[in-house]
Structure 1
Amino acid sequence: MKHLVLTAVAAASLIHPASAEEPASIPSPGEIVAAAPASDWVAIAPSDLLVMDLVADAGGEARRVVIQLMPAPFSQGWIGNIRKLAAAHWWDGTSINRVQDNYVAQWGDATEKKALPAGLAVVPESGYAISDPASGRVTVGGKPAIRLSKDEANRRSKRFEQTGKGDIFGGRSMADAYAPEVMFESGWPIAYSGSQVPDSRWPVHCYGAVGVGRNMSPDTGSGAELYAVIGHAPRHLDRNIALVGRVISGIEHLSSLPRGTGALGFYEDAAERVAITAIRVATELPAADQPRFEYLSTDSDSFDRYADARQNRRDPFFIKPAGGADICNIPVPVRPIQAK
């Protein structure tokens, strides 16, 4: 149907030439991203990429999942453990053990008997969020972040409904159902406590987010057991489990797996598990095999326009703009870096 709509639009343009009075075409979010200048993109260091290779699929096709690790100051205790586990090749020969529909795909040692490398940190629950200085001013790119109260966000939404003019929130801060405020920081969706005490911020569970499996509190997990979100954003997990990264390539190799029939989506038969051949930090791979990606800077004007377009769809297909969006519905654009 989409192709039929596009064909009809193209045909109409041949019959009715554009006139000077016709409004300029309003770009879609994807068109805004495609037009973003090279200066608005930030390269991801290979040292921040975790590469997971699964056993080939039934057709013999390779299956690679690339995970971008969370930047400082978030979750660094767990990420330090993950780097040690990858350096020790600990995940080689482990498997994806759980695939729960509309929730997560989880991997690690199904036997729970494999010895962990020495020197892994035990991270306290306080590591789920980062406390800010006493001033309470969160900064993004060295500049104070814009903060919108829920009342202000509602006011702006009503203004859009009445006037058709939206407000770009600048990729900095917006209202949220699970936190006083949310914003983007260094390319990541982050929740913020706002005027609440203690003043703190934390990463949020969006589609593709990678977190650390754990047992009951006070256990926080070592990082040996990981999961990726493959369904609707489970934001109730925020500040209850450590988030350590996000899948930026190959999520289809996780989301398309058969669902486990056991409790919580665990595979009941060992034969159902998907073997992991290797997990490495990208810098350990040969240079020619190292994946290279970049993300659209959330401090850029291009991201501001993209985020506004995601909240207020004005391109021709849409009839009524929503006037807002959940932060997880504004995914930060990531793309491969083309070889020169």
Structure 2
Amino acid sequence: MKTWIKLALLSASLAFGSAAAQSQNKAPAWQLLPQQDLLYLDTDQGTVVILLASQFAPRHVERVKQLTKAGFYDGVSFYRVIEGFVAQFGVPEHEWGKRAQLEPMKAEFSWPVRSGDDYLLVQKPDLLAEETGFNQGFAVAREKGQEWLVHCAGVVNLARANEPDTGVADLAIMMGQAPRHLDKNMSALGKVVWGQSVLNRIRRGDAEQGGVIATAAQRTTIKTARLGSDLANDRQLPLEWMSTSSSEFAQGLAERRSRTHVFYQHKGNGNLDVCYPQVPVRLAKAPTP
């Protein structure tokens, strides 16, 4: 395994602690991510893997899966990239050419809170909502019986025009500081779980030009896009992430909130931004023969 991967996994392990929280929650600490919900982007800078959130944006995820299987994203590029904000890929409108026109999507900005979901409260009240927490691994906000995905770094949404129901096919990955102003204004449909370092290498546009990179030759290209379930076994990454319903994850939140380590001279006020504690992801260990 590459050194940077080992360091990243070690960092995640130390950050969240090895001791289990004193909790009644018995959820397994690590959960294998389903290959049918993993979107692999093979770019000219490396591989990025997106976990699609079909439980929250089912129509959008179905559209992305259909387009992926049809080869729509093969050969497209990151044509709008703004440092510290967004990396958008797909086909600019003026370059559609012979590609079939698609019907715009009905927005999936939010949905009713479901009492049966595994939800872990993080902050109440939140700066921009009544409360925030984690639902099945995703950072969410809740208010007045509605829930939505929070635009933390790595979250993916469907690009659109000014009108709400105008998203078609292009996807945008959040980078840098969390653009919370997009919460409940964009249809978020997943998050990057692998290859964040690849995003650091994609070519940027000029912020004064809206981040748009004028010519295809200057852009970072997605050579192929595939669902993990359509890849050969030896090309699948056995990714797993820490369950946000586990006592280990809850312990990690408690440690970040209280800052009990001797390093911290200022202990804070106990508040915690839901975008700060990223959910650890690692390659699953091979079973012992």
Q: TM-score, normalised by structure 2?
A: 0.85
Corresponding position: 1:49 with 2:26: no
> CA shift at 1:122, angstroms?
4.5
Of 209, 217, 229, which residue of structure 2 is paired with 1:283?
Answer: 229
How many angstroms does 1:101 deviate by? 1.4
Instruction: Determine the C-alpha separation between the residues in 1 that align with 2:267 and 2:239.
Output: 31
The 8 Å contact of residues 203 and 220 in structure 2, kept in 1 or not, is answered as: no
The question of whether the paired residues in 1 share the 8 Å contact of 2:87 and 2:172 is answered with yes
The one-letter code matched in structure 1 to 2:28 is S
The AA in structure 2 aligned to 1:138 is S
- Given candidates 177, 187, 209, the residue that maps to 2:137 is 187
Aligned pair partner of 1:109 in 73, 91, 105: 91
Q: CA deviation at 1:318?
A: 1.6
2:198 corresponding residue in structure 1: 253
Q: Which runs of 5+ in 2 are unaligned?
A: 1-10, 21-26
2:213 alignment partner, one of 267, 283, 303: 267
Instruction: Describe the shift of the 1:285–1:235 C-alpha distance in structure 2 as closer, same or farther (beyond 3 A).
Output: same
Contact between 1:311 and 1:325, CA under 8 Å: does it hold in 2? yes
- Residue 280 of structure 2 corresponds to 333
The count of aligned residue pairs is: 266
Indicate if the aligned counterparts of 1:54 and 1:277 stay in contact, CA closer than 8 A. Answer: yes
Task: List gaps (5 residues or longer) in structure 1.
Answer: 1-27, 58-62, 146-170
Q: Shift of the alpha carbon at 1:35?
A: 2.4
What TM-score comes out, normalization by structure 1 length? 0.73
Contact 1:220-1:242 within 8 A present in 2 as well: no
Residues 97-146 of structure 1: CA distance to partner in whole angstroms, max 9, x if unpaired?
111011011110131335248xx664323x211024xxxx73433xxx6x
Identity rate, percent: 32
Which structure has greater strand proportion? 2
Contact map agreement 1:109 1:225 (CA 8 A) in 2: yes
Q: CA deviation at 1:297?
A: 1.2
- Which stretches of structure 1, 4 residues or more, deviate above 4 A after TM superposition? none
2:221 matched to 1:237? no
Once the 2 structures are TM-superposed, how far is the Cα of residue 317 of structure 1 from its aligned partner?
Answer: 2.0
Q: Which has the higher helix share?
A: 1
SS in structure 2 at match of 1:265: coil
1:174 maps to a residue whose letter is Q
CA RMSD of aligned residues (A): 2.2
CA distance change for structure 1 residues 253 and 48 in 2, over 3 Å: closer, same or farther?
A: same
* 1: CA distance, partners of 2:211 / 2:220: 14
Instruction: Find the aligned partners of 1:310 and 1:112 in 2 and give their Cα distance.
Output: 47
Supply the distance in 2 between the matched residues of 1:241 and 1:300 (Cα, whole angstroms): 29
Change (3 A) 1:255 1:300: same
Q: Based on CA coordinates, which of the two structures has the bigger radius of gyration?
A: 1
1:233-289, Cα deviation, whole Å (9 max, x unpaired): 001101111111111111221233332026211112332111111000001111111
- For the residue of structure 1 that corresponds to 2:217, the secondary structure is helix
Residue 310 of structure 1 contacts residue 329 of structure 1 at CA under 8 Å; is this kept in 2? no
2: CA distance between counterparts of 1:243 and 1:214?
12
Kept in 2: contact 1:220–1:241 (CA 8 A):
no
Report the CA distance between 1:220 and its aligned residue.
Answer: 3.5
Distance 1:29 1:105, change over 3 A: closer
Deviations 1:14-55 (A, max 9, x none): xxxxxxxxxxxxxx9742646268931111111110000012
